[in-house]
Amino acid sequence: MCGMPQQPPVRSSPVPGAAQRRPDASMSLLTNVMEHSLDDGYAEAAARRGAVGTSRLPSALSGRLWLAAGLVLAAIVVTLGAAQAQFSAPTEAKERQNLIDRIQTETRGADALQRNVDALRDTVSAEQQSALGDQGGAGNAALLELLAGATPVAGPGVKLVVDDAKEASQGNTGGPRESSSFSDTGRVRDRDMQRVVNGLWASGAEAISVNGQRLTVLSAIRAAGEAILVDNKPLAPPYTVLAIGDGKRLSSTFQDSADGQYLQVLKDDYGIRASMGVQDELRLPAAPSIVVRYATPVPGNEKADSAANGKGSK
């Protein structure tokens, strides 16, 4: 067998009528993916969006239309607001005028009542002087009225003006005002006025008034919010304190006292403004209301004793 010649391989002949297969037939799937990368459904949807987009307005024109619509809406709102304000303005002005008229009317009524009180006080004082004059006690009655603040008084003394700081600051920073109920350290408070008034009394003042309000032994200096009340009457700064007495001695004694030093600390640390000057002539009004709590008859006056005990003499 080794010497036998080898025959060439036999090739099969193509079958007549059979389809010829392309050499790259196995690559048809890859070729289809490359040529048709976008699915037909997505292509149709993109085409529809393109057709619709051609009918829309440009974005710039659409933005301007929205801006114009917003401006028109704002103009309508402003116009309606102005019309409403113009319509309600007469009503508000009328209500305000009515309130002003009521305040003025009540103020005039209060002033008339005060004048009536003053006239009645003068009448009562005249009757007291007449009745006590018969018993020899007119001088004592006048002295008691003077000390009680029931009558006006005039004489030399000092004038002390206390005012808030130019820029009243908020917040408590301690110091001598730490115990007060207010936190505004740039304002004059009721505790400050109490110390000033008590210091003047202790320094020898015979009569004191604050903003024209006469003080008595029953007077109270309190606060309501940020307002200072003297006998329940609100006062506004600056606070003018008039004290009758020996002006020079009263001024020096007060400034050297603990209350005078307290006022100086308020000036230095909190900017509260205060000035004191000696006056040759001061006039203080009578206290607005004097309440008689009880009366004691003069010893030796049997008629007064019997009247006080409810036993009238016959």
**240 pLDDT higher than 70:** yes
Residue 272's pLDDT is: 92
266 and 159 in one domain?
yes
Q: Is 164 left (phi over 0), alpha (psi -120 to 50) or beta?
A: beta
Is residue 234 domain-resident? yes
User: What angle, 0 to 180 degrees and rounded to 10, lies between the N-to-C axes of helices 190-202 and 258-270?
Assistant: 150
**40 pLDDT higher than 90:** no
Helix residue ranges, H only, the chain: 28-35, 40-53, 59-135, 138-148, 190-202, 247-256, 258-270, 302-308
For strand 239-244 and strand 207-210, is the pairing parallel, antiparallel, or unpaired?
A: antiparallel
Compare 179 and 73 and report the one with higher pLDDT: 73
The amino acid at 172: N
What does the angle CA 143 – CA 209 – CA 245 come to, to the nearest 5 degrees? 55
280 and 165 in one domain?
yes
What average pLDDT does this structure show over 242-268?
A: 93
What domain range is 230 assigned to?
153-284
Sequence-distant (6+) residues with CB within 8 A of 44 are none
Is residue 207 domain-resident? yes
Closest-CA residue to 71 (of 61, 82, 63): 63
**135 pLDDT higher than 60:** no
At residue 97 the predicted structure's pLDDT band, cuts being 50, 70 and 90, is confident
Residue 305's pLDDT is: 46
Is residue 21 domain-resident? no
DSSP for 142-207? HHHHHHHT-S-EEEEEEEEEEE--SSPPPS---GGGTTSS---TTS--HHHHHHHHHHHHHTT-SE
pLDDT digits (tens, 9 = 90+) for 280-310: 999 998 887 666 666 676 666 545 444 444 4
Compare 5 and 202 and report the one with higher pLDDT: 202
Residue 183's pLDDT is: 46
Q: What is the pTM of this model?
A: 0.52
189 and 251 in one domain?
yes
230 and 113 in one domain?
no
Burial profile 49-60: b = 16 or more Cβ within 10 angstroms, e = fewer: eeeeeeeeeeee
Number of domains in the chain: 2
CATH number of residue 228's parent domain: 3.30.70.1880
Is residue 249 domain-resident? yes
Asked which of 104, 128, 148 is the last residue of a domain, the reply is 148
